[in-house]
């Protein structure tokens, strides 16, 4: 069920800073994917997880969102607990893992320096996210991991940011009837400081799955 969507350009070069950084990572770490990272999961999902951007030694290395770094360990483990991932751990693009009813993507498709895309880079990439929303006809729920993803989702839907305030576990009904649910990002920093606990994260993913039915 894993496949790149037609709303994705695997050789996109629209953001010069990101192109240089990802290609630099490929030279420094031979064998890294070091290119835009496509969405992964069910081809026609009922809910979609939207992260910030590929991690340097995670998706930028493996070519699969949230695979190979700390954030991905928690995400896939929790998706398995919810019952929508065939495996507890996502190791590589060819490990056979499948997602049922859910898909994972990022607001920005290329790894950014210091994990911080500029506002201009987020805007440049937003068209790809908008195309994903239009493509997934069964999509009912979008889960935003972090404020940047939350804002990117609103921009893709043409919704005013000021009308939907980000907060962990907040639920927003968008104008077209779809649900936007917010979560703190499952980053190492957030989990180590216990801003986000495993129990908090599980609860919000369970809610997303329930609303998507």
Q: What is the pLDDT of residue 134?
A: 94
Give the pLDDT mean for 111-129.
Answer: 96
Give residue-wise pLDDT tens across range 155-185: 999 999 999 999 999 999 999 999 999 999 9
| CATH number reported for the structural domain that contains residue 35 in this entry | 3.40.470.10
Domain of residue 169, residue span = 16-212
Residue 26 falls within a domain, yes or no?
A: yes
Q: Is residue 41 part of a domain?
A: yes
Long-range contact pairs involving 124-129 (C-beta distance under 8 Å, separation at least 24): 124/14, 124/15, 125/14, 125/15, 125/152, 126/152, 126/155, 126/156, 128/7, 128/8, 128/9, 128/12, 129/50, 129/105, 129/153, 129/156
What value does the mean pLDDT of the chain take?
95
pTM of the entire predicted model: 0.95
Structural domain contains residue 5: no
Instruction: Tell me how many domains the chain contains.
Output: 1
| In a domain? residue 148 | yes
pLDDT of residue 175: 96
Whether 185 is in a domain gets the answer: yes
Residue 9 in any domain: the answer is: no
């Amino acid at each position: 069920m894993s496949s790149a969507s037609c709303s994705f350009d695997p050789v996109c070069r629209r953001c010069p800073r990101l192109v240089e950084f990802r290609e630099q990572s490929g030279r420094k770490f031979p064998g890294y994917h070091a290119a835009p990272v496509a969405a992964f999961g069910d081809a026609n999902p009922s809910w979609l997880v939207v992260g910030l951007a590929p991690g340097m030694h995670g998706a930028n290395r493996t070519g699969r969102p949230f695979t190979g770094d700390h954030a991905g360990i928690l995400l896939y483990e929790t998706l398995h607990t919810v019952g929508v991932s065939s495996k507890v751990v996502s190791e590589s693009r060819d490990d056979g893992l499948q997602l049922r009813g859910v898909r994972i993507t990022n607001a920005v498709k290329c790894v950014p320096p210091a994990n911080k895309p500029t506002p201009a880079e987020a805007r440049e990439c937003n068209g790809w996210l908008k195309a994903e929303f239009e493509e997934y006809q069964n999509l009912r729920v979008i889960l935003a991991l972090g404020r940047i993803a939350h804002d990117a989702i609103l921009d893709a839907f043409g919704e005013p940011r000021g009308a939907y305030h980000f907060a962990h576990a907040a639920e927003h009904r968008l104008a077209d009837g779809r649900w936007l649910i917010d979560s703190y990002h499952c980053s190492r920093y957030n989990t180590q400081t216990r801003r986000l606990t495993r129990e908090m994260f599980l609860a919000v993913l369970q809610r997303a799955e329930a609303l998507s039915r």
